[in-house]
Chains A and B, each alone.
Chain A
Amino acid sequence: MAEKQRFDPARMDVMIAILIALVSLTTALAAWRTNVVGSSAADANRQGLIDALKKGAAQNEDWRKVYEEAGYASSFAIESAAADAMDGSKDQSLKAAARNLRQYLLPSMQLLSEPLGTQEKYLKSGGNFDIEKRFADLESEAPDLVALDPKSAFALADQYSSEQRWLTVGTVLLAISLFWLGLAEFLSGRGRAVNLTLGIGVYVLGLLFFLIVEIVSILGRRGVL
């Protein structure tokens, strides 16, 4: 008699309805979490692009500054060579002009060309300037901009996206279990038993799958949700 009561259709209707409510809630939570992970991936991608933009703007400004310095430095070097040639001339007026150039013009030009045109470390053995070295030094003056790494943000986005892929599969499994439980609610007899068993089975499978994906992914990000 007790066995009969346990499988009483009216009682089963209520039990399945409660089960459907529980699965619906789980599915909603799973969909929310999957969406959060997708948003985190989008955020990381957006951050990567912002970092790339900032870094690019800073590098453009550094290149501009380096080539501006190089322009002044080459002008200074050329005018210095001209002054040397004037000094070497037999013409006294040119010698005087060279003296005045050294006194009035070249110091100002040297000032503009600093440090590329004045520091030994930026002079190559061939006589031209080590522009790449000056650029690297300018970059290192702004460590916050050097630290910007778009590729690491993109790698994080890829990790979140991978998690999102698998969580979606888990969420779909949970949604499928709802479908089976819904059928069990409407059917009776053997059909109800088969649908109910399948619904519970798929639900447990989906839930386990979802939890495993979450744990593995969070561990992969060293605890970051």
Chain B
Amino acid sequence: MNETTPNTDRFRTLVLILTLINTIFAATLSGLQVDANIRADHANRDSQYYALLASNELVRLGQQSAYDLELFANTVKDTQQSLVMEFTALELEKNGNKESAARLRSQSEISKARSEKGVSLSLLYSDPRYAPTEPDGMPDFQAYLDDQSQSPNDLVAKQNAASDAYHKWNGKADAYVAILTILAIVFFLLGLAQSSARLRLFFAGSAVVIMVLAVVWTGYIVIA
């Protein structure tokens, strides 16, 4: 009889130690859960912020493109008009209609003046990134479109990354809650182990098995 009492006390100390370990584990896990939740919130906020910036950038680019392309179209139209009138004036001159030819030539000069002014105002002609490399060449539209789409694309890439981070951390936070619930069961089992001398080892063993599973699951979530 005297030999069994110390054994019971020893297991009781073991259960106390296990409870202490479980409480520390639960505290750590609570911290991890809150941290994951906060990271998810921040990523969610960032994804919304970048979506807003991307949409604003698209609005700005829409205004810019409309202005640049309208100016370019008018400039091309004036250039073509000037050429056609000049060409027609030459034809009329050849047919002996000098008065009409002179009038058309004046009109051609006016269109040319319009087109030259348009060229000096247009980003597509004045910016060295897009300006034609030959005197009568066309601007580099591909470079213009690439530059236009770069900044919204960068913002959308950041938005997607933030959105992915949100899903990742949100998933982790949810999994931590599940593990915390399992740890509550471990607390219950360890409480039973403290109060019941006969089934102490059984309850403590069950608690240890569940704790080990919880540790493995936590490790998997932290690494993932």
Contacts and interface: CB of A to CB of B under 8 A. Distances in A.
Query: Which of A85, A91, A161, A183 has most chain B Cβ within 10 Å?
Result: A85
Given A85-B110, A164-B38, A59 B49 contact: no
Contacts of B53: 52, 56
Interface stretch (B86-94, B136-144, B187-195, B213-221): B187-195
Interface of B: 9, 12, 16, 19-20, 23, 26-27, 30-31, 34-35, 38, 41-42, 45, 48-49, 52-53, 55-56, 59-60, 63-64, 66-67, 70-71, 74, 78, 102-103, 106, 109-110, 112-114, 116-118, 120-123, 126, 187, 191, 194-195
A17 B115 CA distance: 93
Contacts of A67: 63-64, 66-67
A63 B63 contact: yes
Interface string A113-156: 00000000000001111000000000000000000001000100
Given A45-B41, A91-B102, A168 B109 contact: no
A146 to B, nearest CB: 15
A85 B49 contact: no
Contacts of B27: 169, 172-173, 176
Interface of A: 41-42, 45, 48-49, 52-53, 56, 59-60, 63-64, 66-67, 70-71, 74, 77-82, 84-86, 88-91, 94, 126-129, 150, 154, 157-158, 161, 164-165, 168-169, 172-173, 176, 179-180, 183, 186-187, 190-191, 194-195, 198, 202
A172 B106 contact: no
Listed from nearest, the 3 A-B pairs whose CB atoms lie closest are A85-B113, A127-B120, A81-B117
14 contacts: A45-B41, A45-B42, A49-B48, A63-B64, A71-B70, A78-B114, A78-B118, A82-B114, A88-B109, A91-B106, A168-B31, A169-B30, A176-B23, A190-B9
A115 to B, nearest CB: 16
Contacts of A158: 42
Given A56-B53, A78-B74, A91-B103, A165 B109 contact: no
Nearest to A70: B67
Interface of chain B, helix or strand or loop or mixed? Answer: helix
A158 B16 CA distance: 38
Contacts of B63: 63-64, 66-67
Given A165-B34, A179-B187, A94 B42 contact: no
Contact of A77 (B48, B56, B121): B121
A150 B195 CA distance: 56
A191 B191 CA distance: 12
Contacts of B187: 179
B12 to A, nearest CB: 6
Contacts of A59: 56, 60
Contacts of A45: 41-42, 45
B42 to A, nearest CB: 7
A198 B20 CA distance: 9
Contacts of B9: 190
